[in-house]
Every structure is written in C-alpha cells, then in structure tokens.
Amino acid sequence: MNKLILSTGSDLNYLSKMRPYLKSIESNSNFDKNILVYVGEDEMSLPYKNIDVVNLPVNNIQSLNNNKCVQHGDFLNSESFNSITEDSDVIIYTDGDIILQRNLSEDEINFYKSFKDGDVHVGYNASPTDTLGDESKRLGRTNFISSEIDIDVWENKKVYNTGVLGMNKKTWKYLLKKYNELYPSVSPMFHHYAKQQWLISYIIGTDTSFNIIEMGYDVHNHRHYPSPKGTTQDINGDVYFNDKKVLFKHKW
C-alpha cells in the first residue's frame, strides 16, 4: 500500500521562520509520514515526534538556486529520503511559509492514494487563467531566450503556484530529470528566483507524460495575490473557502 507523505525543506537560516508550520504539522497532520528535508550536513533534531528529519547536503543538489529551495524534486537526492520512500508513495512537497490547518479528509486520502504515474496536483498562481507569459513579465526577463524553450506556448500554457505540489515518487523522479536538463539554459532568462516555479509549470504543461489535476482553493489558498472570491478568515485566523476549512493556508 502506498503512503501519503507530507514534506517540506529548510536550511539553518530559514528554520526559525517555518517553526509555526512544523508545529501545525505536528498537531494536524494525518499523513502517513511527515518529512523535513534539512539542507545541510549538520545533525538536526526537532522537538516534534511526528516529523522525521533527513539531510540533503548542498553538494547533492543538482539544480541549486539562490534560496536553496528544492521543490523541483532535488530532495530526492537525499539518501535518507530515498531510503524511507517508495516509487508509489505520493509526496506533497510544500513551501515553509504555510500552516496545515486540519487533517486530510477521507475523500482527500482516497484521492491521493489513487494517483497514477504522471498525475500532478497543483494549484493556481495569480488566477486560474494566469499564464507563463504573465509570469515571465513579473520575473524580470533578461534578453536571453533559451533555444530549448518553446516561446510560442507562453501565452496559452498556465503558470501554477508550486508552493504545494503533489505526485508520486516515480513522477517526481521524472520531473527532476526534465528540470535538471532545462534549468542551466532557463536560469539566465529571468532575474527572480521564482523562475523555478515557472520552469516546473512549463515542464508539466508541455510534456505529455504529465496529467495536471488542478487543486482547489480549499486545499491550497495563498495570498501572493488577492484572495479568490469565496475565501474568508475567522477571528482565530483560520482560512476557509466556501465555508470549508482550507488544508494549506499559505502566506497569510
């Protein structure tokens, strides 16, 4: 039986900022396993019994950006992460400026457990119609265009917010392979580190091996852009979408 795994990552400098998220995982997660990918080689322990810590040496990261985020799949280069996961396990990898507000529902568990190779669960960026072209303008384009990128699709392929991204481990492996092939030529195209998100969106949107399943705002609700209609926040700070408590509250 495949496992459902919630994972996030941090280096030493960012760890203090994500403690509210780790605390919420400890309190609210009913994933089969919770994993913090610690970017570094120091021995790291957390005061949370339900979160495993695995090390990812910086030298193991194949496509390193300036904030050391490995949401494109480079966390698979942690030997410890690989040793406790299987190809059929479904891994939800997230940013660290998040709060896990509740348990997965039974329907959500069954949904994730049913994932096939190639299935990708990801939510919207600025809106459900936000495109790679829109995002390219926000990232600060340089004058360089990679010959490996099809510029003609920019205006009709979506850009997603990859702060919460789910697929099975086998599919993560394939994403990492494609990302590593393209990143050296795509990185010079943009100034902002969110080019990582742009490239992930480009790959899953243009490679027919991927089957995108768009994530509802009741799963991932963020404030990088104005909140979608139907989003509310109660006096305790909990965020709801159409009266359902959101799973991942992001940047609130």
On the question of pLDDT at 140 being above 90, the answer is: yes
120 has pLDDT over 90:
yes
| Distant-in-sequence contacts of 203-209, Cβ < 8 A, 24+ apart | 203/175, 203/178, 203/179, 204/120, 204/122, 204/160, 204/175, 205/132, 205/153, 205/157, 205/158, 206/150, 206/153, 206/157, 207/178, 209/118, 209/174
The sheet that has 244-245: what strands, in order across it? Answer: 231-233, 239-241, 244-245
**Tens digits of per-residue pLDDT, 226-251?**
889 999 999 999 999 999 999 999 99
Q: Quick one: pLDDT at residue 252?
A: 87
How much is the average pLDDT of 202-210? 98
| Cα gap 207→110, rounded to integer Å | 26
Band (pLDDT 50/70/90 cuts) for residue 91 is very high
Angle made by CA atoms 112, 102, 54, in degrees to the nearest 5: 65
Instruction: Tell me if 36 sits within 8 A of 46, measured CB to CB.
Output: yes
Distances (CA, A) of 182 to 69, 129, 195: 17, 24, 12
Fold of the domain spanning 4-101+117-222: Spore Coat Polysaccharide Biosynthesis Protein SpsA; Chain A (3.90.550)
| Predicted confidence (pLDDT) at residue 79 exceeds the cutoff of 90 | yes
**Confidence class for position 25, pLDDT limits 50, 70, 90:** very high
* Residue 37 φ then ψ, to 5°: -90, 110
Confidence of residue 66 (pLDDT cuts 50, 70, 90): confident
Does 95 score more than 90 pLDDT?
A: yes
Spacing of C-alpha 61 from chain mean position: 16
pLDDT of 73 higher than 90: yes
Higher pLDDT, 1 or 29: 29
Segments making up each domain of the chain, as ranges = 4-101+117-222
* Mean local confidence (pLDDT), 157-182: 98
Residue with tokens 């359902």: 244
Q: Has residue 44 got a pLDDT over 90?
A: no
